[in-house]
Amino acid sequence: MSILLASAARVARRSPAVQQQVRGIHFENVVGKTMPFSTKSKPATALKVFAFACTGFGLPFVAAAHHM
């Protein structure tokens, strides 16, 4: 049985109470509350986003250089 088929079978076996609980989750989608950090200061937000992007983009190059 493939992993995808097994996953679909697991989802199909869920009880209606569990499915209702999953659907009942609500997140506030307002400006400034959608990020996991404060967005009040534009320079600080820009620095955090830049650091995140540089880490995600640069990590494969660092790993490749380490393995050489």
- State the average pLDDT for the chain: 78
pLDDT given for residue 9 in this prediction: 67
Higher pLDDT, 58 or 10: 58
- In the chain, where do the E strands start and end? none
pLDDT given for residue 35 in this prediction: 73
Reported confidence tier of residue 34, pLDDT bands at 50, 70, 90: confident
Q: Which pLDDT tens digit goes with each residue over 42-62?
A: 899 899 989 999 999 999 999
Half-sphere exposure of 23 (CA within 13 A, CB side): 7
Distance CA 8, CA 49 (A): 36
Q: Which two tokens stand for residue 42?
A: 């534009």
